[in-house]
Amino acid sequence: MVHVKVNRLIQRLTEGFTVTKMAAIILGAAIATFGIHNIHQQTNITEGGVIGMVLLINRWLGISPGIVTPVLDITCYILAFKYLGSAFIRISVVSTLSVSAFFKVWELFPPLLPDLSNYPLLAAVLGGVFVGVGVGIIVRQGGSSGGDDALALTISRLTHWRISRSYLITDLTVLVLSLSYIPFARIGYSLITVTVSSLLIDFIKSVKLTRVKEPEAILAQESGEQS
């Protein structure tokens, strides 16, 4: 009886997961955290949302992003659970753990990219691309890379706004707080990076992929049309 209950619990927790989905989530987490660690943290060009809050707390309190990230994420997930459902939360737990783990991995190495502090526009665009692509891949799988995604998706669900607009609202709030340690001129570059990442997330989430037909399927279709 106990084994049956355990099996049912495991089945329920893993419902909706596939190897492809898991691989995509892990890949997205690796891409996003690589950009944050190697670009944002080096150049003081912050992201918005929870990512920006993580950098803000790391700057003033010295607490590792690997510790702060799950705490903030869980808080946002609790707030968003009512509107996003249990399936979203299950997938997001996996992605959050992946993000936290990759932060820890990148911290084991020195920066793997050149310091782009003297090229803030390039850093803003490149950082936004890393975050936008990484988070976009995760959101496309039906989860989130962190609490800011959960919050933005909830806002989008309630207001029927595009997800890019929801992201910008939460991002701008964090950018205002980030003025406490980032010069005003530098915040302009942060606005660029959050705009780039928000638009990329929106694009990757909504783009429709068409499956290439196998040659056999094409021949079968042509034969049917001729007959």
Which residue ranges make up each domain of the chain?
29-207
Region 136-148: what's the mean pLDDT? 83
The tens digit of pLDDT for each residue in 176-204 reads 888 887 778 778 888 898 889 889 988 99
Region 59-83: what's the mean pLDDT? 81
CB atoms within 10 A of CB 111: 12
DSSP state of 209: P
Q: Burial of 17 by CB count in 10 Å (0-12 exposed, 13-18 middle, 19+ buried)? A: middle
Mean pLDDT of the chain: 80
How far CA 23 is from CA of 26, 30, 95, 106, 171, in Å, comes to 5, 11, 10, 19, 28
Enumerate the H helices of 36-162 as residue ranges: 41-43, 49-61, 65-107, 120-140, 147-159
In the predicted structure, residue 46 carries a pLDDT above the cut 80: no
pLDDT given for residue 6 in this prediction: 40
How far CA 128 is from CA of 6, 182, 225, in Å, comes to 42, 17, 47
